[in-house]
Structure 1
Amino acid sequence: MSEQSQSKQQCENLHWQCLPFDQLSVHQLYQIYAARNAVFVVEQNCVYQDIDHKDPLSHHLMAWDSQQQLAAYLRIVPPGLSFAEASLGRVLSSASWRGSGVGRELLMRGITALREIYPQAAIRIGAQAYLEKFYGSFGFVQVSELYLEDDIPHIDMLLSSGRN
């Protein structure tokens, strides 16, 4: 089996959930915060307050592996909270899942879930600048100048609502 086929098969074996905050179990919430801390604070050597009071108002898209460990995660933020538009944020793949294609699957599912929850909303993200091509492959376009957020270069990107 090729490496790409194996990665695709691994991603197909994941269990996906999209839940509002008040339906998350304590175990799920713990794993979400642990993964966000590992990626955004420790790996990126960025001291910041991750708990920003947006989680209780957001939906949370999670991919679980066969050992009930979090493989990938993002949150769906309602319009008016981070930006005027709806948003995808805290997008991450756990270290052991990077390179498997789970990030691409996560973003596809995140866009689909956001469109189900907020059908008329455009999607704005604050993307780390090095991921511009990745997000661009989903139709996002850069709509801001480069800026620093927590000393990391970012750009805002927008995916239109698809309305005419």
Structure 2
Amino acid sequence: MEWSLKTFQELTNDDLYALLKLRVDIFVVEQECPYPELDNYDQWAIHYFLKIADEMAANVRILPAGSKFNEASIGRVAVAEKFRGSGLGKEMMRKAIDYTTTVLDEQQIKIQAQEYLKQFYSDLGFIQISDPYLDDGIPHMDMLFDK
């Protein structure tokens, strides 16, 4: 079990296909939310992911400050259904936060969290900075991590 950290240009075709498939399976199909998953931010992102036995188990993308928001951001947090409840989501977020604050030397990280995951992100040190709002029909809120 080894985590990978790659820029868009470093992703293999197989890695890119697997991470996009997982995101579409979760955010479009499972959540019944038809929206443009391919949003032109992947090219700017650093992709953190875990494959288990050649299967994409979890992935997240890290965007540098100034790309999507003024702050750095972490998004597209995805854990394959069969691996949920194993702690991979929290482990992946801790790794992404650590990378963003140490390697990228960012002081703040902004996320757009689904409302039902508020406690998950709060436990990682994020605080709510907006009222809930609908994004593609799903309640979200902006949250901020401040180192």
TM over 0.5: yes
Is 1:28 the counterpart of 2:15 in the alignment?
Answer: yes
- Normalising by structure 2, what TM-score? 0.97
Does structure 1 residue 127 correspond to structure 2 residue 106?
no
Q: Provide the TM-score with structure 1 as the length reference.
A: 0.87
Runs of 4+ in structure 1 over 2 Å off: none
Match of 1:47 in 2: 34
Contact 1:77 1:86 in 2 (8 A): yes
Q: Deviations over 1:14-51 (max 9, x none)?
A: 21011111000000000011000000000000000011
- Aligned equivalent of 1:152: 138
User: Which runs of 5 or more structure 1 residues have no equivalent in the other structure?
Assistant: 1-13
Report the Cα distance in structure 1 between the residues aligned to 2:14 and 2:102, rounded to whole angstroms.
26
- Structure 2 residue identity aligned to 1:61: Y
Query: In percent, how many aligned pairs have the same letter?
Result: 39
Q: Deviations over 1:101-131 (max 9, x none)?
A: 1111111111112123421330000000010
> How many Å separate the matches in 2 of 1:120 and 1:50?
26
Higher strand share goes to which structure? 2
Does residue 71 of structure 2 align to residue 85 of structure 1? yes
Decide whether aligned partners of structure 1 residues 147 and 126 sit closer, same or farther in structure 2, where only a CA change above 3 A counts. same
Are 1:140 and 2:126 counterparts?
yes
AA at the equivalent of 2:54: Q
Q: How many positions carry a matched residue from both structures? A: 147
| 8 Å CA contact retained: 1:79, 1:121 | no
CA-based RMSD of the aligned residues comes to 0.9
The aligned amino acid for 1:89 is G
Aligned: 1:94 with 2:75: no
CA contact (8 A) 1:124 1:159 kept: yes
The higher radius of gyration belongs to 1
